[in-house]
Amino acid sequence: MTMSEGDLAVAQIKFVRQTTLEQQPPPKSMHGPIGWLLTNLLSSPFNIILTILIALFLAWIIPGLVNFLLIDAVWTGADRDACREVVQNRTIGACWPFAWERLAYFTYGSYPIEERWRVDLFFGMLAIGVFWILWLQAPRRDLAAYYCFIVLPVCSYILLSGFETIGLRHVDTVLWGGVLVTIVVSAVGIVVSLPIGILLALGRRSDMPTVKLFSVLFIEFVRGVPLVTVLFMASVMLPLFVPEQYSPDKLLRALVGIAMFASAYMAEVVRAGLQAIPKGQFEGAMAVGLGYWQMMRLIVLPQALKITIPNIVNTYIGLFKDTTLVFIVGIFDLLHTIEVSRIDPKWATPVTSTTGYAVAGIFYLVFCYAMSRYARATEARLAKSERR
Amino acid sequence: MSIDLRTGSPPARVPFYNDPKVRSIAYQVALCAVIVFLVYGAASNAIDNLKKANIASGFGFWNQTAGFDISQSMIAYSNLSTYGRAFWVGLCNTLLVAAIGIIFATILGFIIGIARLSKNWLVNKAASGYVETIRNIPLLLQLLFWYNAVLKALPDFRDSLSIPGGAFLNNRGLFLPEPIPQTGFSFAVMAFCAGIVVSTGYHIWARKRQEKTGQQAPVFLVSLGLIVGVPLIVFLAAGLPLGFDYPRAGKFNMAGGIEILPEFAALLFGLSIYTAAFIAEVVRAGIRAVSHGQTEAAYSLGLRAQPTLRLVVVPQAMRVIIPPLTSQYLNLTKNSTLAVAIGYPDLVQIFTGTVLNQTGQAVEVVAITMAVYLTISLATSLLMNFYNSRIALVER
């Protein structure tokens, strides 16, 4: 049978279609907004119930929040009468004039007003350091680490605490407060914990038994007890351990406690990174004749720290939140300034406490969320560079 | 002595200070010397300072009269009791809030963790909104919010909010009816205990039979009947032998019933809600760690969705979930020390707070407190190591 005969035979069969059908759009229920609703919200009776419950819950909580923070909120006023329902005769939300009046106190604590430019300068220098080290396309990033870990701490200390010879008046740390203290405590924790944490992690993996023993003891001890007790230890025991005339001030004691705590946690994070480096890297470094510190500095740590960046940032988020605990040993961090302000009789209203906590909540939420986004972006970038 | 292959002469002698062994010993001796010096310095300074401040040392204070009151105690305590007694009261309070907090946080955390994996868009987004918000706000701030802005802002006890069932809520706490067992109630308790024993036996028998014959037994239904059903029938048959002492508003305070302090409630809320966000992440990671091939393999063997989840996915997910879950439990216990900020009488508040202030014996008091938490942590990690070695994957 030739080709043409076959074709003819097929053509003669009436019920075989000769042309391809036009492509049909998918059913209405599969695409578009309705399809999205059906697949994502209403796919089964159980899901329908869940959707309704969650929608009801959100309908209760979101308007409540918006009303409190924006619609019912009081925006102007001079004292508590502006935020009292009895006086204003309406539902009152957040009392923003209270937060506005206390903003300087929340930021600087009792730092002398004429010296506050020093704090602003410190914030500016810190912001430069943070952008320099985090922004990948920044020029001369090799200098950023020296800036952040050496120049910045020294300059900040001179700037904030004062240095009489160059005309900066001494400001006692009991006057420091608010965001300034929160930032100082977390910055000290961050700057100190990384190098000490690396040393402890190396010590824990060391071949020398005593070095290993002391590292393990320190790390496990500090990680086994709550931060509150570490801070209590620093604030009541540290003054006993040094001669009376060198007794550290309150802020320094808390900083020592925070630094110890953060170092122990950082050590475990770095150790996890070190464990992920294949043994061949160590052996390769030794084979080309590098000593221990050269091997660590040039070969192992750059790789180990790179893969630990997301975990390091996550530890910093935890540390940033944990700085609120210095409140318990009497340091005036942001939360403490809010606690003091919210019981001020000038602003005594039923909404003052909630307003104060809302300010603190937004502050921490913004900073921690930004850090966690950065950690996630870094993780994604590292995953991309690993892909072949 | 080894011979250098290139020249045939013995190798150049390495100076002794370049010998790794000698160096290692030198470093270790130096480290020990520094630490001994620091410890010695600290100890001698501490002795000096304590002598100057006229503070006693040693643990003699343990048996002295405490002389302060504690707002909540599970064991008998009055202000005539000793400091040692106060320590146990604090420890019990810490363990109580930690235990209840762990139960609530686990339930909430598992619900939210599973919700984050839901295909339902709204459920998924609501759950991740919860996790992102709660994780990024410090716990101390949340505790202060619950205590000062929510519970302390409740109405006075004269206009308490009444909750159906005879409970009252006001700014002095939550007042619940107190159950008072009457004669015959012990029969129901005995039936309950017997139910647990019998159903455990039944469970073992059913498992053995299934291993031998492959036949399954309705273990869950039988256990439910034995543990819940039988005691309930006994309870009804004995004529409902349980009375309630309802709380009522007295002249100066509420009278009767069980009082739950607002400090306790705030701490419990705060800890459970905060830890649940972390547990949710642990659960989500654990379930996602079970590869999809496992589910598909179970389906192809003919298991239905429910047994697949129960017999294949959950046991493998638990292997990943349990170690980080335990460390979250430990975190919750350690975070319960924040009670000191809102005045719940936990170990730190009583001991490192009041006892330390009264006796001034900082070293001993802080050491005892730390030892307690260290013991809890080490015991938990020992248990975890044991558990991990038991469930570790047995590979070829």
The three-state (H, E, C) secondary structure of A32-51, written as one string = HHHHHHHHHCCCCHHHHHHH
Q: Which of residues 241-270 of B touch A (CB under 8 A)?
A: none
Q: What is the pLDDT of residues A47-88, one digit of tens each?
A: 889 889 999 999 999 998 999 888 888 888 888 888 888 888
Paired with B163 in beta bridges are B167
Paired with A109 in beta bridges are A176
Write the CATH number for A325.
Answer: 1.10.3720.10
For residue B153, the Cα-to-chain-centroid distance in whole angstroms is: 28
Please check whether residues A48 and A121 belong to one and the same domain. Answer: no
3-state class of B177 per DSSP? coil
- E-only strand ranges, chain B: 161-163, 167-170, 173-176, 178-181, 242-245, 248-249, 254-255, 258-260
Q: What is the ipTM of this complex?
A: 0.87
Cβ neighbours, 10 Å, residue A66: 13
Considering only the beta carbons, identify the residue of A40, A57, A232 that sits closest to B121. A40
- Encode burial over B99-130: b for 16+ CB neighbours within 10 A, e otherwise: eebbebbbebbbebbebbebebebbbebbbeb
Please check whether residues A58 and A119 belong to one and the same domain. Answer: no
C-alpha B158/C-alpha B166 separation (Å) is 15
Please check whether residues A34 and A167 belong to one and the same domain. Answer: no
Give kind and range of the element (H or E) at residue B41: helix B20-53
For residue A57, the Cα-to-chain-centroid distance in whole angstroms is: 29
pLDDT at B1: 45
Give kind and range of the element (H or E) at residue B258: strand B258-260
- Which residues on B lie below 8 Å from A55 (Cβ)? 122
The residue that leads in pLDDT, A27 or A313, is: A313
Task: Give ∠ CA A63-A65-A69 in degrees, rounded to 5.
Answer: 120
What contacts B171, CB < 8 A, 6 or more positions away? Answer: B151, B152, B153, B154, B155, B156, B157, B262
In a domain, A160, yes or no: yes
In a domain, A2, yes or no: no
Give me B396's structure tokens: 């070829």
Q: Do B137 and A321 touch (CB under 8 A)?
A: yes
In the structure, what pLDDT confidence band is assigned to residue A201 with cuts at 50, 70 and 90?
very high
C-alpha A380/C-alpha A386 separation (Å) is 10
Residue A306 Cα, gap to closest chain B Cα (Å): 23
Give me B23's structure tokens: 């160096």
Give me A357's structure tokens: 């906590």
In a domain, A10, yes or no: no
Q: What is the pLDDT of residues B333-371, one digit of tens each?
A: 999 999 999 989 999 999 888 888 888 888 889 999 999
Please check whether residues A92 and A115 belong to one and the same domain. Answer: no
Give me B331's structure tokens: 């975190």
3-state class of B150 per DSSP? helix
Q: Which one, of B111, B98, B74, B72, lies nearest residue B268 by Cα?
A: B98
For residue A109, the Cα-to-chain-centroid distance in whole angstroms is: 22
Please check whether residues A194 and A61 belong to one and the same domain. Answer: no
C-alpha B319/C-alpha B296 separation (Å) is 20
Please check whether residues A55 and A119 belong to one and the same domain. Answer: no
Please check whether residues A331 and A217 belong to one and the same domain. Answer: yes
Give the strand order in the sheet containing B161-163. Answer: B161-163, B167-170, B173-176, B258-260
C-alpha B279/C-alpha B327 separation (Å) is 10
Find the closest chain B residue to A37 by CA distance. Answer: B121
Domain boundary among A97, A112, A144: A97
Please check whether residues A33 and A144 belong to one and the same domain. Answer: no
Contact B34/A at CB under 8 A:
no
Domain boundary among A75, A97, A119: A97
- What average pLDDT does this structure show over A260-274? 94
Total structural domains in chain A?
A: 2
3-state class of A288 per DSSP? coil
The residue that leads in pLDDT, A158 or B155, is: A158
Domain boundary among A63, A97, A131: A97
Q: What is the pLDDT of residues A102-139, one digit of tens each?
A: 999 999 998 998 889 999 999 999 999 988 888 878 88
Q: Which one, of A178, A320, A334, lies nearest residue B135 by Cα?
A: A320
In this predicted structure, the answer to whether residue A328 has a pLDDT above a threshold of 70 is yes
pLDDT at A259: 95
Find the closest chain A residue to B377 by CA distance. Answer: A224
Residue A240 Cα, gap to closest chain B Cα (Å): 5
Q: Do A224 and B378 touch (CB under 8 A)?
A: yes
pLDDT at B254: 74
Residues with pLDDT less than 70, chain B: 1-12, 394-396
Dihedral pair phi/psi, residue A285, rounded to 5°: -60, -40
C-alpha B158/C-alpha B250 separation (Å) is 9
In a domain, A53, yes or no: yes
In a domain, A13, yes or no: no
Give me B98's structure tokens: 């930690």
Please check whether residues A91 and A181 belong to one and the same domain. Answer: no
For residue B330, the Cα-to-chain-centroid distance in whole angstroms is: 6
CA quadruple A128, A131, A136, A142: dihedral sign = positive
Please check whether residues A184 and A227 belong to one and the same domain. Answer: yes
Average pLDDT of chain B to the nearest whole number: 87
**Whether B199 contacts B160, CB under 8 Å:** no
Please check whether residues A56 and A156 belong to one and the same domain. Answer: no
In a domain, A20, yes or no: no
> Which residue segment(s) compose the domain that A53 sits in?
29-97
In the structure, what pLDDT confidence band is assigned to residue A5 with cuts at 50, 70 and 90?
low
Find the closest chain A residue to B367 by CA distance. Answer: A233
Q: Which one, of A217, A227, A260, lies nearest residue B352 by Cα?
A: A227
Please check whether residues A250 and A343 belong to one and the same domain. Answer: yes
In this predicted structure, the answer to whether residue A91 has a pLDDT above a threshold of 80 is yes
For residue A364, the Cα-to-chain-centroid distance in whole angstroms is: 8
Residue B112 Cα, gap to closest chain A Cα (Å): 12
Find the closest chain A residue to B23 by CA distance. Answer: A208
Give kind and range of the element (H or E) at residue B247: none
Paired with B242 in beta bridges are B181
**Whether B279 contacts B292, CB under 8 Å:** no
In a domain, A23, yes or no: no
Amino acid at site B278: F
Q: With pLDDT > 70 as the criterion, what percentage of chain A qualifies?
A: 96
In a domain, A8, yes or no: no
Mutate to test the interface with B, among A232, A244, A265 (most CBs of B within 10 A): A232
